[in-house]
Every structure is written in C-alpha cells, then in structure tokens.
Amino acid sequence: MAADIKTNDWVNVTVKKEPRTHGGRKTLLRMLAKDPSVRKDRERMKKTRPRDEHRRGGRMWQDYPPHLRPTTVTAGTTFRIRASLDVLKEMQSVAEYVELKPAN
C-alpha cells in the first residue's frame, strides 16, 4: 500500500468503507483536516462564526460556539494530504478502510 509512496509526496486518500471503531473515525477525521481545501473551509467558517461577549469579573469575555466540521468520514470521501512519516503511520493503522494513491 504505502511501499511506493515516499515522504513529502502528495497522496490521494479514498475512504473505502466507514471505520467501525471510534478511534478509526477520529484518525480519519484528523487526517482529513490536513487537506488544504478542508483547512480553507475551516478558516472561512471560523471567521464567520458568531461570538458572544459578556462581562465577567469586570472584564469582557468572548464565548465561542463549538467549531463545525466541514466534512464527515463516509464511504467514498476523497481527500489529498502530504505524506510524512506520521501520516503514513496513521494511514497504516486504518489501512483496511482507505485506499492510497500517489498524486501526480
């Protein structure tokens, strides 16, 4: 799977099936968050998210609502990440759920 992928190369990752374990879903969400287009969407959503201010102890505090996830891990989801040693190790742990292809 990852034998023909070198570090610092771009990799296309396709989710074959949804992970059964909670840890597998968390791992794929963490890897999905490294995709440049997902990062761009999260930054846009962060800037437009409403904030509420209130006074606490004589100082102004800002309340941030929970961040929204722009994508979810389902079968057929495709994303692109840069292969580093930690990314390849994480992908090895969820190898039965994903398919890796070097991006040209």
Amino acid at 70: P
Helix (H) or strand (E) holding 102: strand 98-102
- Dump pLDDT digits (tens) for 8-58: 999 999 999 999 999 999 999 999 999 999 999 989 988 888 889 999 999
pLDDT band at 74 (very low <50, low <70, confident <90, very high): very high
Extents of the domains making up the chain:
10-102
pLDDT band at 1 (very low <50, low <70, confident <90, very high): low
Helix (H) or strand (E) holding 47: helix 36-48
pLDDT of residue 100: 93
